[in-house]
Amino acid sequence: MTTRALAENDDDSDYMLPLLHTNKKLKTSVNTSTDYSDSTRKNMYLDTVNRKNLDFDFEKICCVTLSPSNVYCCLTCGKYFQGRSVNSPCFAHSINDNHHIFISFSNLKVYCLPENYEIKTSLDDIKFQINPKYSEVDVNLLQSGKLGTGTDLDGTEYTQSVIGMNNIKGNDYTNVILQALIHIPKIRDFFLLKDHSEESNELLKRFSIIVKKMYSLKLFRNHVSPHEILQCIDVMSKKKFTIGTKGMPNDFLLWFVNTLNSDTKIFSSSLQGKLEISTSIKGKDEVIVKRQKFWELNLKLPPVSVLKKEKPLQTSLYTLLEPYTNSTDIIVSETQTTRYKITKFPEYLVLNFNRFMDFNLNIPLDLKERNKSIVEFPFNLEFNNGEVKYKLISNVVHYEMNNQSNWKIQMNLNRKWYEIDNLQITEKEKEFLFLNETCLQIWRRVK
């Protein structure tokens, strides 16, 4: 079998010539022996591996059968095929296209086809692209705030985790949330250190992989495509968040953390706080006290009706936070007042600024009517007279372009502020960040 397959390939192949130097040499080797020495086997066809064609960000399904099981990647052209047996698409591809080196996505073993033997070679850089792994030492370095420098296949240097994400179609709103979550240190460390490859929750598994890719110093190209995780989000959200349709970052964030919260407590232990809500009804002495967990604090921007046809109003973050910090009664209706008190401050505080809602009239606003108020914010936030302190780590902003909503994220990484707009990365002066339409912020508790 081995002899026949090799001889056939040899007869009609120009492609193999450079690999084995001369046609004559190949024929000789085929004719004299099919039992190659280990070293010949080891190196055969390895120089057909073309890293520039390899992209492991896509869903691991066979391009012929669309099946997700038993899928291999051809390391010459980068396509995914099923199987290794004689009738498989993988086998057919090796014969038809004369491509020979395949890696299994399930166990990362490398095979030579059509001969069908395992190649005991490392190809560690390729395996790392598929399944990056990190040690405590790597994570300790990140915790010290030091980001490494990687170099992609084109020789372009990039700062670790300062990586753009492809906007496949309308998924900038999911990109900003994935970026924000990936850059929360506690969440980052958890996913970098834990092997989720056997995880039954597919979303958790795919999130784990994208976190690991984002911190890789060995990326073949200096961006990551969220394709694989978005496919899973599409299915798990029953098309609520589907590729090709724009959505709201905050809706996606809440769906994402709630969906994963049943399988991992990392999101709730990082982001959830507790709130005490006291409600008083006019004419009654009774105060109803409710305690509830929160993922985020919703901040009400100044009413949009006041702003119409005027310059955007400027407000400050401390003003917007007053309902949560002032211990004063908020008038909910003519007969009802409510008072909020934060009883547990989360490790990472999420603030949501809804620009698409008029809270006075309780009506949603469209793109043109949205609340464009400018929120002036500090970079250090204090609660309870300085007992609790936070530092801003990321800021999601909205902008209008081509008559639609777009989102980008600004993050404090490596002691600099970067703005990441899908694939575009710009260093920003922090003094100007508040000029954008802030939609969502994440703060890290430092005290």
Residues that bind Zn ion (CB under 5 A): 74, 76-77, 99
Find out whether the peptide bond into 89 is cis, omega within 30 degrees of 0: no
Residue 372 CB, nearest approach to Zn ion (Å): 51
In terms of CB distance, is 76 or 352 closer to Zn ion? 76
Letter string b/e over residues 34-45, b meaning 16 or more CB atoms within 10 A of that residue's CB: eebeeeebeebb
Residue 93 CB, nearest approach to Zn ion (Å): 6
Q: Angle 93-96-102 (CA atoms, 0-180°, nearest 5)?
A: 30
Residue 130 CB, nearest approach to Zn ion (Å): 16
Q: Are 101 and 48 in contact (CB under 8 A)?
A: yes
In terms of CB distance, is 95 or 108 closer to Zn ion? 95
Helices (H), 227-271: 227-236, 249-260, 266-271
In terms of CB distance, is 76 or 171 closer to Zn ion? 76
Q: Angle 374-376-380 (CA atoms, 0-180°, nearest 5)?
A: 150
Residue 97 CB, nearest approach to Zn ion (Å): 5
Q: Angle 371-377-381 (CA atoms, 0-180°, nearest 5)?
A: 130
Residue 99 CB, nearest approach to Zn ion (Å): 3
From residue 24, give the alpha-carbon distance in Å to each of 71, 77, 95, 222.
Answer: 35, 27, 21, 42
In terms of CB distance, is 1 or 77 closer to Zn ion? 77
From residue 76, give the alpha-carbon distance in Å to each of 23, 50, 101, 435.
Answer: 21, 5, 7, 48
DSSP string, 299-353: EPPSPHHHHTTSPPPEEEHHHHHHHHHS---EE-SSSEEEEEEEEE--SEEEEEE
Residue 122 CB, nearest approach to Zn ion (Å): 21
In terms of CB distance, is 103 or 182 closer to Zn ion? 103
DSSP β-bridge partners for residue 271: none
Q: How far apart are CA 124 and CA 278, in angstroms?
A: 58
- How far does CA 331 lie from the centroid of its chain? 40
In terms of CB distance, is 77 or 153 closer to Zn ion? 77
In terms of CB distance, is 63 or 388 closer to Zn ion? 63
Residue 1 CB, nearest approach to Zn ion (Å): 21
Q: How far apart are CA 152 and CA 162, in angstroms?
A: 13
Task: Give the helix/strand (H/E) hosting 71.
Answer: strand 71-74
In terms of CB distance, is 81 or 215 closer to Zn ion? 81
In terms of CB distance, is 62 or 209 closer to Zn ion? 62
Q: How far apart are CA 338 and CA 126, in angstroms?
A: 57
In terms of CB distance, is 90 or 253 closer to Zn ion? 90
DSSP β-bridge partners for residue 126: none
Residue 220 CB, nearest approach to Zn ion (Å): 17
Q: How far apart are CA 377 and CA 315, in angstroms?
A: 9
Residue 101 CB, nearest approach to Zn ion (Å): 9
The set of residues, in sequence order, having a beta carbon less than 8 Å from that of 160 and lying 6+ positions away, is: 142, 147, 148, 149, 150, 215, 216, 217
Q: Are 230 and 243 in contact (CB under 8 A)?
A: yes
Q: Are 327 and 275 in contact (CB under 8 A)?
A: no
Residue 48 CB, nearest approach to Zn ion (Å): 9
Residue 98 CB, nearest approach to Zn ion (Å): 9
In terms of CB distance, is 56 or 348 closer to Zn ion? 56
Q: How far apart are CA 247 and CA 285, in angstroms?
A: 44
In terms of CB distance, is 76 or 406 closer to Zn ion? 76
Residue 77 CB, nearest approach to Zn ion (Å): 3
